Amino acid sequence: MVEFFFQAIGIAVIFLLGCVGETLTEKSGHLNLGIPGIMCVGAAGGILGVVVANNANGFLSILLAVIFAAVFAAIAGGIYAFLTVTLRCNQNVTGLALTIFGNGFSSVFINNIIKIEGDSGHGAMLSEAGNKFFLAHLPFSDLLGWFGKIFLGHGVLIYVAIAIAVVAAIVLRFTRIGLNLRAVGESPATADAAGINVTAYKYSFILIGSAIAGLGGMLYVMQLMHGIVGAELAGTVEGIGWLCVALVIFTLWKPALAILGSFIFGALYIFPSFLNVFFPDATFTFAQLKLFPLIPYVATIIVLVVTSIIGNKENQAPAALGLSYFREDR
C-alpha cells in the first residue's frame, strides 16, 4: 500500500507538470494540443542533457537534464507560439502538427541514443551517476516509516515540480502578472485596451508552459523509468501528454487543484499494477487486466460532462480559448 502511494506520487508529478504547463498556456487563450509532442521533445532534451553530462557528477547531470529539457520544449513551444500568435493560425491544427512532429522527433532522437548508448534489451540505460542523483531521496525519509517513504522518499525534482505548481497557483491568483495573464485569456481586446502587451504575454506563457511540460517529459524518463530509454518512450509520453490535457479540464484550470487531480490520475494510472494489493483474493484474466487503463479516460469524460452540465461561470475554460486575437478586427 505504501508502495502504491509512493509510485502514485511518482507518476503524479509528471501529470502535474504537463497539466500546469498546459494550464498556463490555456490561461493565455491558447489551447495547445501540441503539449503531448512538447513533452516528448522535453524527454529527448532531458536525455541529451544527461548524455552530455556524461556521468561527470549527479548534480551536473540533473542540471543539464533540466536545462536541455526546458530549452528543447520551449523551442517546440516557440514554433507553436509563432504560428498561432504571430501568424494567427488555427490552434488545433497547429497543435496536432506539433504533436506529430514532436513524437517523430523524439522517436528518431531516442533511437539514435539507444544506438549510441547500446541496447540492454529494454532500451539504453543512461548515466549511472545522474540516475542515482535523480532518485536520491531526502534525508530522514528512512527514519519516518511509511510517512517518510511516501512523502519524503522521492527524487529532488519531484519537490521542484510541486513547487512549480504552487508558484503557478500563487502567480495566477495573487500577482499582477497573473491578473494580466488571465485577462489576456479571457478577453485579449480588453487586456490590449488596458495597455497589456497581449503578444508578449501569449508568447511568454506559451514558452513557460511548454518548458514546464517539457520537464514533465524529462521526469518520465529520468524518474519513473529510472533512466532507461526504450523505443516505446515517445508513444507512452504522448499518451501521458493527452492525459495532461484532459487533467487541465479535470482540475478546472487551477494549478492548486492540479496537485490533487494529478495524484488521482497517478493513482488511477498505476492502479492496474496494484490489483493484488487491493484485491488479494480476486483473480483477473489477461484480458480483464487490459481494461483498467480505461479508468482515467473515463473519469475525465465524466468530469468534462459534469462540469459542462453544471455550467458555473467561474469554472469554465478561459473565454477566448482557441481564438486568435487580431487588434484591427472590426
Partner 1 sequence: MHQLELKNITKTFGSVVANNNVSLTLDQGEILSLLGENGCGKTTLMNMIAGIYYPDSGSILINGEEVSIHSPIDAFKYGIGMIHQHFKLVDVFSATENIVLGYKDQEKFNIKKAAAKVKEIADKYGFIIDPRKKIYDMSVSEKQTVEIVKVLYRGANILILDEPTAVLTPQETKKLFDVLRKMKEDGKSIIIITHKLNEVMEISDRVAVLRKGEYIGSVNSKETTESQLTEMMVGKKIELNIERTEPKGCVDRLIVNNLTTIKEDGLLGVDHVSFTARSGEILGIAGIAGSGQKELLEAIAGLAKIKEGSLDYIEPHSGEWVDLCSKNPRQIRDLGVRLAFVPEDRLGMGLVGNMDLVDNVMLRSYEKGRPVILDRKTPGKLTDQIVKDLEVVTDSVHTPVRRLSGGNVQKVLVGREIASVPKVLMAAYPVRGLDINSSYLIYNLLNKEKETGSAVIFVGEDLDVLLALSDRLLVLNGGKVTGIVDARTVTKEEVGLLMTKTVESTVEE
Partner 2 sequence: MAREHKEPLFHIVKRMNMGGTSKVAIRIVSILIGLIIGAIFVVALSPTSHNFFGFFGSMVSGISSTPRRLWLFLLEGSLLLGVSIALVPAFKMKFWNLGGNGQILVGCLATCAVMFYLGGKLPDPALWPIMLVASVLAGAIWALIPALFKAFFKTNESLFTLMLNYIAAILIGYFISLWYPTGTGSMSPLPHGALPTLGNTPFGKYFLPTIIFFIVAIAIYFYLRFSKHGYELSVVGESENTARYIGINVKVVTIRTMILSGALCGLVGFILSGAVHQMMSVNMDSNMGFTGIMVAWLSHFNPAVMILIAYFVTFVTRGMSQVNTDFGFTDEKLSSVISGIIFFLLIASEFFVSYRIVWRADIQKVMDKIAYPFVKACDSTDSLIKTIKVKLTTKKQPAKKEAE
- Binding residues for partner 2 (CB under 8 A): 31, 33, 79, 83, 87-90, 92-94, 96-105, 107-108, 111-112, 115, 234, 239, 242, 245-246, 249, 285-287, 289-291, 293-294, 297-298, 300-301, 304-305, 308-309, 311, 317, 326, 328-329
- In this chain, which of 86, 90, 112, 190 binds partner 1, going by CB under 8 A? 190
Inter-residue long-range contacts of 67-70, CB under 8 Å, 24+ positions, other chains counted: 69/42, 69/43, 69/45, 69/211, 69/214, 69/215, 69/217, 69/218, 70/42, 70/45, 70/211, 70/212, 70/214, 70/215
User: Is residue 11 within the footprint of partner 1 (CB under 8 A)?
Assistant: no
Smallest separation, CB 322 to partner 2 (Å): 9
User: Cα–Cα–Cα angle for 246, 13, 286, nearest 5°?
Assistant: 70
Q: Binders of partner 1: how many residues, by CB under 8 A?
A: 23
User: Is residue 168 within the footprint of partner 1 (CB under 8 A)?
Assistant: no
The maximal CA–CA distance of the chain, rounded, in angstroms, is 67
- In this chain, which of 59, 146, 147, 174 binds partner 1, going by CB under 8 A? 174
314 binds, among partner 2, partner 1, none (CB under 5 to 8 A by kind): partner 1
The smaller minimum CB distance to partner 1, of residues 152 and 171, is found at 171
User: Is residue 305 within the footprint of partner 1 (CB under 8 A)?
Assistant: no
Using alpha carbons, select from 114, 113, 32, 108 the residue that is nearest to residue 73: 32
Gyration radius (Cα) of the chain, Å: 20
Q: Is 174 exposed, middle or buried (0-12, 13-18, 19+ CB in 10 A)?
A: exposed
User: Is residue 192 within the footprint of partner 1 (CB under 8 A)?
Assistant: yes
Residue 98's alpha-carbon distances to 32, 36, 73, 91, in angstroms, are 9, 9, 11, 10
Within positions 311 to 330, which residues make up the interface with partner 1, using CB under 8 A?
313-314, 319, 327-328, 330
User: Is residue 243 within the footprint of partner 1 (CB under 8 A)?
Assistant: no
The label of the residue with cell 520544449 reads 73
By the 8 A CB rule, do 127 and 55 touch? yes
Smallest separation, CB 328 to partner 1 (Å): 8
Type of residue at 153: G
Stretch that binds partner 1, among 14-22, 124-132, 183-191, 285-293 (CB under 8 A): 183-191
Stretch that binds partner 1, among 51-59, 144-152, 181-189, 299-307 (CB under 8 A): 181-189
Smallest separation, CB 211 to partner 2 (Å): 20
Cα–Cα dist 119/25, whole Å: 37
195 binds, among partner 2, partner 1, none (CB under 5 to 8 A by kind): partner 1
* Binding residues for partner 1 (CB under 8 A): 174-176, 179-180, 182-183, 186-187, 189-196, 313-314, 319, 327-328, 330
